[in-house]
Amino acid sequence: MPKATDYFLRNRWPWLSASILLTGLLFVSTTLGWYWYTEQRAAAARQLSLDLLWLEQSIAESLQGNKNILANWANDLPASAASKPASTAKALEEFSSRIAGMMKENPALLSIDYLDKDGARLAGFPAYTERPERLPPLSDPLIGNAIRHSRDLDLSVYSQVIEQYAPLWVLVVPVKNEDERTGMATYDLDQLLSQKVPWWFVQRYDLSLLDRDNKQLSPRDGSQDGGNSDTYTDIYKLAFGPMNSGLSLRASPHHRGQSKTLLAWLAVAVGWDYW
């Protein structure tokens, strides 16, 4: 009997040793893989936050530049009470020509208007007899609130988002003259993101614009949501626009879960070898 036992152990030992060694190697590989995975996740999260911050600042600088230009052009217009009709008409025509060129360079700008104190349009682009349906009516309460707020503060003010065929954002610029005139620019936020988001950002991330209730405003198809991420840490949000705008940009990386799948298979291999 001892001879049979010794024979069994002699023949079994090489396989047992190999199994223990393989289990140890798989365990070490899985542990190292998990540390690598968590470090990669942390690095990706840091890069995502930096990329999203860069994008927000890039869009903000562009909007600020447009706002400064509009304010300068509008303030160059003469007040009707202090100007001759001919010179006023010429100034308005020149203003319309300038903003037409500006809008060609900024597809997200749907219209630029110059309004009197009662909200009537004095000049602007595009030229029209009846206001196009794609533009919010000048009587829209959100535009009225923005105009009143701008006059009270004597500052440029953005309206709350106006939802039509696309999320629209109206910038109101007070004009410093005795007639209380107003400059107004209407942005298509879908177009703004399409125009300003670079190709490399689109390749890396899903990007969406949210309101204060976390409702997705852009893209309008609503195909991007937070439910397709591995965990909450795959999503990064950043406030967008002026204070109290209620808007935020949300980004999440493409192609999540591949590294996690590899680690899962390693863990399964360890368990299988053990049993």
**One domain, residues 151 and 213:** no
Determine the pLDDT at residue 159: 93
Give the contacts of 184 (CB within 8 A, at least 6 positions apart): 112, 113, 114, 115, 143, 147, 170, 171, 172, 173
Whether 80 has a pLDDT exceeding 90, the answer reads no
pLDDT (0 to 100) of residue 247: 92
DSSP 8-state assignment for residue 226 = G
Compute the residue count for the chain: 275
| End-to-end Cα distance, the chain | 28
Residue 200 and residue 180 share a domain: no
Give the pair of three-digit tokens for residue 213: 């209730």
- Shared domain for 181 and 100, answered yes or no, is yes
- Say what the pLDDT of residue 82 is: 47
Cβ 197 vs Cβ 191: under 8 Å = no
- Which of 142, 141, 140, 104 has its CA nearest to residue 125? 104
Q: In which element (H, E) is residue 262 found?
A: helix 258-274
pLDDT above 70 covers a percentage of the chain that reads 69
**Cα 1 from Cα 270, distance rounded (Å):** 35
Kindly report the CATH number assigned to the domain that includes residue 75: 3.30.450.20
Instruction: Give the whole-angstrom CA distance, residue 259 versus residue 215.
Output: 31
Beta-carbon contacts of residue 147 (< 8 Å; ≥ 6 apart): 115, 119, 172, 182, 184
pLDDT of residue 146: 93
- Tokens 């308005």 sit on residue: 92
Is the pLDDT reported for residue 252 higher than 70? yes
**How far apart, in whole angstroms, are the C-alpha atoms of residue 91 and residue 119?**
19
Q: Among candidates 124, 115, 165, 166, which has minimal Cα distance to 144?
A: 115
- The pLDDT of residue 226: 42
Of 158, 188, 218, at which residue does a domain stop? 188
Tell me what the mean pLDDT of segment 53-68 comes to. Answer: 92
In this prediction, residue 92 carries a pLDDT of: 77
**In the predicted model, is pLDDT for residue 260 greater than 80?**
no
Identify which of 90, 150, 97, 94 has the alpha carbon closest to the alpha carbon of residue 119. 150
pLDDT of 28 strictly over 90: no
Query: What number is the average pLDDT over the span 73-96?
Result: 70
Tokens of 190: 């879908």
Please report whether residue 237 resides in a domain. yes
- pLDDT value of residue 192: 92
- For residue 33, being part of any structural domain is answered with no
- Which segment, 18-22, 31-35, 46-50, 224-228, is predicted with the most confidence on average? 46-50
Tens digit of each residue's pLDDT (9 = 90 or more) over 140-185:
999 999 999 998 888 899 999 998 888 999 999 988 766 778 899 9
Which tokens is 53 given?
A: 């911050």
pLDDT (tens digit, 9 = 90+) per residue, 111-129?
999 888 888 888 888 988 8
pLDDT for position 165: 84
Which residue in this structure is represented by tokens 């440029």?
A: 156
Please check whether residues 172 and 201 belong to one and the same domain: no
Pair (81, 113) in one structural domain? yes
- Domain of 51 in residue numbering reads as 40-55+193-258
User: How is residue 129 annotated by DSSP?
Assistant: S
pLDDT for the residue 33? 65
Segment 236-260 shows an average pLDDT of: 79
Q: What is the pLDDT of residue 228?
A: 43
Q: Is 192 exposed, middle or buried (0-12, 13-18, 19+ CB in 10 A)?
A: buried
Domain boundary among 188, 214, 235: 188
- What pLDDT, on a 0 to 100 scale, did the predictor assign at position 229? 41
Confidence of residue 230 (pLDDT cuts 50, 70, 90): very low
Residue 25 lies in a domain: no
CA neighbor of 111 nearest in space, from 184, 174, 45, 50? 184
